[in-house]
Amino acid sequence: MLSIGKLGARTGVKVPTIRYYEQIGLLAEADRSAGNQRLYDEKAVERLTFIRHARELGFPLDAIRELLSLSDQPDIPCGAADMIARRQLDAVRERMLRLKALQTELERMVAQCAHGTISDCRVIEVLGNHDLCLHPDHGH
């Protein structure tokens, strides 16, 4: 059995985050020692490692909850898990497109910089006036 600190060290998850995952039901409440210290078993290590890895891949907490529910039913078809992963892949692709557009706009702003004074600064000018921004999510 591991204390919350040792669980955190072993999984790379901070103690407040572990407590939060318990509060929202992603991680089962820990058993308690005679001194009321939280104690975790290997199953908690595996589940927390799963959650941490899913978070690193950008899955939202609701999707992780769904995936954990599916992982608790090993004999059902994996189509539902595939659908959740496809949704996340679509979200990542969408974010990448938005980031590329943001990169292009920032590159344009920097390229137009006159390297003069702040009163001549194109970066400040564009940030202050959305109509000068070519990024589709701004202005207009």
Domain that holds residue 24: 1-57
- Rounded CA gap, 106 and 98, in Å? 12
Give the closest residue to 126 by CA, choosing from 137, 116, 139, 136.
Answer: 139
pLDDT score of 140 more than 60? no
Q: Structurally, how many domains does the chain consist of?
A: 1
Structure tokens of 107?
């590159």
Give tens-digit pLDDT for 37-51: 889 999 999 999 999
What pLDDT, on a 0 to 100 scale, did the predictor assign at position 109? 77
pLDDT score of 17 more than 60? yes
Give the closest residue to 90 by CA, choosing from 58, 115, 65.
Answer: 58
Asked whether residue 23 is assigned to any structural domain, the reply reads yes
CB atoms < 10 A from the CB of 116, how many? 9
Asked whether residue 134 is assigned to any structural domain, the reply reads no
What pLDDT, on a 0 to 100 scale, did the predictor assign at position 84? 94
Give the up-direction half-sphere exposure of residue 69: CA atoms within 13 A in the CB hemisphere. Answer: 9
Residues 6+ positions from 132 with CB-CB distance below 8 Å:
125, 126, 139
Give tens-digit pLDDT for 68-110: 999 888 888 889 999 999 999 999 999 999 999 889 888 887 7
Asked whether residue 92 is assigned to any structural domain, the reply reads no
What CATH number is attached to the domain comprising 7? 1.10.1660.10
- Rounded CA gap, 84 and 98, in Å? 21
Asked whether residue 121 is assigned to any structural domain, the reply reads no
Looking at the chain, the whole-number percentage of residues with pLDDT higher than 90 is 57
